[in-house]
Amino acid sequence: MDTKLLSCGIPASGLPESYVRPESERPRLSELLEYENVPVIDLGCEDKSHIVQQIYVACMNYGFFQVINHGVPKEAVERMLRVARDFFGLPEEEKMKLYSDDPRKTTRLSTSFNVKKEKVHNWRDYLRLHCHPLHKYVPEWPSNPPSFKETVSDYCVQVRELGFRLRELISESLGLQKDYINNVLGEQGQHMAVNYYPPCPEPGLTYGLPAHTDPNALTILLQDLQVAGLQVLKDGKWLAVNPHPEAFVVNIGDQLQALSNGRYKSVWHRAIVNSDKARMSIASFFCPQDHALISPAKPLTEEGCGAVYRDFTYAEYYDTFWSRNLDQEHCLELFKN
């Protein structure tokens, strides 16, 4: 690519060839279903068993849900969105200091998905940050905008709390001990992708992010409050997850699919782009510690089918995921018994 980052200038001549998907892989924007929305679960509800039941139904049927009254202060969310927007508005020379297409780097600004591996690029720039423990990674984060480190650290702490709570609820919804999942995952890593999708000259020919599942355990996504773009695959059809002003979008990642012995699905999702407005999203990925042994929970293997997946460490899984392209089959298929 000539220009490394889309946020440093979009080609005037329309969508470059390197972003154009073959006909059969295009998003078919006119076929999108808007009327059905993924479940919205009120975590402020006093009846905990009702929350657990709703999580069970959402995870069985969608693999995605939204949460409101989640405990992360509104101001922390607004500050996070503002600083993310300001970051992508910085001058090119400032941003290029952080550019890297090496997925092993713990702080990097990049574009598309995996530029070295992929054949067709995606209409996205992203800032990828490791976030836990904060004292280890914050020193390497951007120091411009000046409030970046403080704002993002605060947001990370709040969202981490929510992640712990959600994994307890998910454990219970599977009939496991409340701390089962958190215990298996160990001292969890936390990564963030701050995604920036500029207006695109030909949104019907490309993606912000093509269909993928998340390789981690659980993802908490903060969507742009004004601009839609996230879609989830359900029963072979793509559903739009339109922004909800008070909600986070939560999805099951590959590790929870394995741990639940395939009961809960790490669902395919994608981000489409549009020609009018830039869109942002902020994904917080919770990851097992590298040496965590991921294995289907015993009580979930006792109803006839046995363990669907072999045991593996998260480090093994993560390396396999990043050695591939996003457009391939579900990475978990490679770990089936």
Ligand X SMILES: O=C(O)CCC(=O)C(=O)O
Residues that bind ligand X (CB under 6 A): 193, 195, 209, 214, 221, 223, 229-230, 269, 271, 281, 283
Which is nearer to ligand X, 173 or 223 (by Cβ)?
A: 223
Give the count of alpha carbons within 13 A of 122, CB side only.
Answer: 30
CB of 281 to ligand X, least distance (A): 3
Residues near 297 by beta carbon (within 8 Å), at least 6 away in sequence: 174, 176, 180, 184, 259, 260, 261
Token pair for 336: 């089936």
Which is nearer to ligand X, 52 or 232 (by Cβ)?
A: 232
Question: Quick one: which of 259, 103, 268, 291 has its CA closest to 191?
Answer: 103
Residues near 21 by beta carbon (within 8 Å), at least 6 away in sequence: 120, 205, 206, 207, 210
Which is nearer to ligand X, 138 or 230 (by Cβ)?
A: 230
CB of 248 to ligand X, least distance (A): 12
Which is nearer to ligand X, 176 or 233 (by Cβ)?
A: 233
What is the SS3 assignment for 225? coil
Which is nearer to ligand X, 6 or 221 (by Cβ)?
A: 221
CB of 323 to ligand X, least distance (A): 17
Give the span between the Cα atoms of 111 and 127, in whole angstroms.
Answer: 8
Question: Quick one: which of 229, 222, 230 has its CA closest to 248?
Answer: 222
CB of 150 to ligand X, least distance (A): 23
Token pair for 100: 């890297």
CB of 53 to ligand X, least distance (A): 27
Give me the DSSP letters along 118-131.
-SS--S-EEEEEE-
Which is nearer to ligand X, 184 or 209 (by Cβ)?
A: 209
CB of 210 to ligand X, least distance (A): 10
Give the residue carrying structure tokens 């050695």.
Answer: 323
